[in-house]
Amino acid sequence: MKHSTREALYGYSFVILWVIGFGLFTLVPLIQTFLYSLNKVTVSATGIDLVFVKWDNYSRALFTDPTFVQTLIEYVIETAVSVPIVIIFSLIIAMFLNMKFRFKGFFRTIFFLPVVITSGPVIQELTAQGATSVPEIANSAAVAEFLAQLPPSISTPVQYLLTSFILILWFSGVQILIYLSSLQKIDKSVYEAASIDGASSWEAFWKITLPSLSTTTMINVVYTIITLSHFSENKIIRYISGQTYAVQGGIGYSSAMSFLYFGVLVLFLAIVYLTLNYRAKGKFR
């Protein structure tokens, strides 16, 4: 057997394990969930009964259920507010951790620690006790009066930002590490050459650091959107889960809402990807 053939077989042997796992544990449940979304599903003692209703579940979610549509809009707004904050905070902390100072490893552990402990039960308990938000800020008289003067389309995301700021920053651990690894790969001689030419630190950041991190920023944005979208305390996920065995809901209706939510997520990711990719190529300049 040729060396190239043997290397290819090694590669396929690793990939095939993922393909089998994806087919059994992801693709098959997705197909089954889609079939459920086209049916009225009833769980009885004898099994699962299906009544084919075509696209009725999708029509109900989009045109009859105002709660789902409103929750979906709030999800888009809250995600659009949260992602820039997470990205900017991650970049600032990564640049700070990339500097030379004592106990650098200790501070890196501190910023990554929330990623380790944010399991479902832990974050639910922290959220229930109010440890992930600062509601007193939004409830203060000055802030309440300021929010009352804003239109609803602006006051809603601003209020979400004030009450969920800590929770938003809680999701920055992985992004910090990704930015940090990319910062360490930038050639130091580029900064030295820029300094010799008279460039300040601020100019070096905008002309060297930020363009060098364009691909990393794309990765972090996509990762942040997906992380926030499948978060167990996400309003729309909680609503879909609550409708699974509700009297007015059902497995079929919840499955339809899940696919609509998935479609909105894919559309959101596509818009963000195309926007960032377009800007990275310099077409906005």
The pLDDT value recorded for residue 102 is 77
Angle between helices 28-37 and 251-280 (to 10 degrees): 120
The pLDDT value recorded for residue 100 is 79
The pLDDT value recorded for residue 266 is 93
The pLDDT value recorded for residue 38 is 92
Which is nearest to 261 in space by CA: 56, 36, 58, 24?
58
Q: How far does Cα 150 stand from its chain's mean position?
A: 27
Classify the C-alpha dihedral 54-58-63-68 as positive or negative: positive
Q: How far does Cα 78 stand from its chain's mean position?
A: 11
- Output the CATH code of domain 55-132+170-280: 1.10.3720.10
The pLDDT value recorded for residue 259 is 93
Angle between helices 251-280 and 66-97 (to 10 degrees): 40
Which pTM was predicted?
A: 0.78
The pLDDT value recorded for residue 140 is 66
User: What does the alpha-carbon distance between residue 14 and residue 5 come to, in Å, rounded to a whole number?
Assistant: 14
- What are the domain boundaries of the chain? 55-132+170-280
Q: Please list the residues that pair with 51 across neighbouring strands.
A: 40
Which is nearest to 85 in space by CA: 96, 93, 75?
93
Tokens of 26: 């992801």
**Residues with pLDDT less than 50, the chain:** 283-285
The pLDDT value recorded for residue 126 is 62
The pLDDT value recorded for residue 78 is 84
